[in-house]
Amino acid sequence: MNPDVRVRDGWREALWAFLGARGLLTAISVIGGGMLALPAGQPPTDAGFPNPNLLPGWHMAVTALQRQDAQWFLRLATTGYSNGDHSAAFFPAFPLAVRIVNAVPGIGPLGAGLLVANACAFGALLLLHALTRYELSDAAARRAVLFTALFPTAFFLYAPYTESTFLLTSVATFWFARRDRWGWAAVTGAVAAATRSVGILLILPLWVEAITRSRRDGRPLLPRLAAAAAVAIGPLLYAGWWAWRYHDLWAPLDAQRAWRPKVAFREIFVKESEDFRPRSRSGARASHHRGRRRAARGSRARAQTARPHR
């Protein structure tokens, strides 16, 4: 552990990783954007925000990432929430930040969304470098930043999505907690939980950190536990707004269920569990023979179906 670490110390590594990833993504967007035909019904129009030009061109450097949930966030940043359209599933911190930046003349919703997302992405890499260097070493910090910036799905960090805001606030929460600055940890944790619904789970590792630190230094545990629990203020304020505005306290949870049905998750989980369940050698042989019998029955059924009717 290196207690002398400062956040600004890693700005070069974070900046080079960010610019490299951002430049690579821009090149891919310009070269590949619009070349592949989209499936029917894509991009969706249910968000209510106008879709961008889908034809190839230099505009793809900016509009290539304006897809799917990005349309929802841009619409929320411009016209706000509506009752009954499941927009409550999208938590408010990111669209609120985009709305604030969009107030600057000449930027526009998409420009504001990209500015917020990319600024948060750079900030997240900078803080990640500091936290990793604080816990491990300079070499580990450089690798963590580079791998995070260039990971295949890291393009979400540079799109008008919530990922970069959530990463920034989550890493900041751990940074402040490890530095024993629990007030700031509560603030950043609450913002993370107001960015994505899973952010409320930050309470659990913060409680572990609070208990561990209090056992080590002998200072009171209760204030630290209370600061960790304050993470819940973010989603509570959001649910409270829905209760005040539309008299529906549970709208965010209901909308989450509408977007992610339980049945589908349960079916996928059970299927994957059965596929990866360890089997004995005899059980594997029996399963193999059952599979062959099912395949044979299926072949006979298809042959009978294919016969011409007399």
Q: Which has the minimum average pLDDT: 52-66, 145-159, 236-250?
A: 52-66
**Residue range 166-186, pLDDT digits in tens:** 999 999 999 999 999 999 999
Q: Which of 88, 100, 71 is nearest to 160 (CA)?
A: 71
Q: What is the pLDDT of residue 268?
A: 44
Overall residue count recorded for the chain in this entry: 310
203 vs 280: which has the higher pLDDT: 203
pLDDT at 192 over 70: yes
What is the Cα–Cα distance from 47 to 148, expressed in whole angstroms?
Answer: 30
Q: What is the pLDDT of residue 304?
A: 46
Burial of 248 (0-12, 13-18, 19+ CB in 10 A): middle
* Cα 224 from chain centroid (whole Å): 27
pLDDT at 195 over 90: yes
Q: What is the pLDDT of residue 306?
A: 41
Residue 26 — very low, low, confident or very high, per pLDDT cuts 50/70/90? Answer: confident
What is the Cα–Cα distance from 225 to 206, expressed in whole angstroms?
Answer: 8
Can you tell me the mean pLDDT for 136-141? 92
Residue 309 — very low, low, confident or very high, per pLDDT cuts 50/70/90? Answer: very low
**Average pLDDT of the chain, as a whole number:** 82
**Residue range 258-270, pLDDT digits in tens:** 766 554 444 544 5
pLDDT at 152 over 80: yes
**Residue range 277-299, pLDDT digits in tens:** 554 445 445 544 555 555 555 54
- Dihedral over alpha carbons 178, 181, 184, 185 (to 10 degrees): 30
The predicted model scores a pTM of 0.80
pLDDT at 99 over 80: yes
Can you tell me the mean pLDDT for 22-33? 85
Q: What is the pLDDT of residue 39?
A: 65
Q: What is the pLDDT of residue 279?
A: 47
Q: What is the pLDDT of residue 41?
A: 64
**Residue range 114-133, pLDDT digits in tens:** 999 999 999 999 999 999 99
**Residue range 209-242, pLDDT digits in tens:** 999 999 998 899 999 999 999 999 999 999 999 9
Give me the helices (H) in the chain, please.
11-32, 60-63, 69-78, 93-102, 108-135, 138-150, 163-178, 182-193, 203-217, 222-229, 233-246, 251-259, 262-276, 281-306
Q: Which has the minimum average pLDDT: 44-53, 55-64, 149-158?
A: 44-53
